[in-house]
Structure 1
Amino acid sequence: MEIFQIQEKSDAIQARHRGREIAKTIGFSLVDQTVIAYTISELALKLLSISAKGHMTIRPVSLYKGDSASGIEVRLFDHFKGPNRIHLQWMEKMTDSMELSHDQMRGTMITFHKWVHAPLRIDSPICAAGEE
């Protein structure tokens, strides 16, 4: 797991770059790498625009215990102790799962997962109608 303190724009750029590298290592397509990098960047920039303190963690994850990495998990921690200030409607189509939790003592935590989807594979030969 890698931790990024998000205090200035260069921190957001570093997190985005490292997230893309991790996604590439896991086996995400170029399009998914771009979506992951964009989402990381937008979350980090939102944190910068509303808060003075926060951090982000990025790590490879697997669907099943013991399997090799098949996805990426990103967690954003907004240390603001007041009401939640981050709105995530824009993120729903970019991730496979997303969770937001907030409490007055710890602040807001946003977690998203993106999974590598296996390409469609057809094992049987493709036949025209009547050619079996």
Structure 2
Amino acid sequence: MEMFHIQEKSDAILARQRGRELAKTIGFSLVDQTVIAYTVSELALKLIAIAAKGHMTIRPVSLFKGDQASGIEVRLFDHFKGPSRIHLQWTEKMTDSFELSYDQARGTMIAFHKWVHAPLRVHIPICAAGEE
């Protein structure tokens, strides 16, 4: 896991570059590498524009313990002690999973995951043969 203290645009550029490098190492396509780099960059720039201070972590993740990394996790921590000032509807289309939480002591935490092959999502119940 790598941690980036985001205070200036140069910090955002470094996080973006590292996110792209990690995505390439894991095996993401060029398009997905670009999406990950863009999302990391936008989150970091929003942190600079809105928060007094904050940090971001980027790490490889796997679906199952012991498996080779098949995804990337990015977490952004906005240390602002009020309600979240970051609006991120645009990220839902670019990520496979997305989480936004707020803790009065820690501030806002945003996490997203992107998988090399997105996990199967079933929106209808699966029935056994003969059931409806």
TM (normalized to structure 1)?
Answer: 0.88
Give the equivalent residue in structure 1 for 2:2: 2
Matched residue SS, 1:108: strand
Shift of 1:103: 1.5
Asked if 1:67 is matched to 2:81, the reply is no
Give the equivalent residue in structure 2 for 1:44: 44
Structure 2 unmatched ranges of 5 or more: 119-132
Give the root-mean-square deviation of aligned CA atoms.
Answer: 0.9
Question: Deviations for 1:67-90, whole angstroms, at most 9, x for unmatched residues?
Answer: 000000000000001111111101
Letter in 2 for 1:75: R
CA distance in 2, matches of 1:66, 1:89: 33
Higher Rg: 1
Give the equivalent residue in structure 2 for 1:20: 20
Aligned pairs, how many? 118
Matched residue SS, 1:92: helix
Structure 1 runs (4+) greater than 6 angstroms displaced: none
CA distance in 1, matches of 2:58, 2:22: 8
Shift of 1:52: 1.9
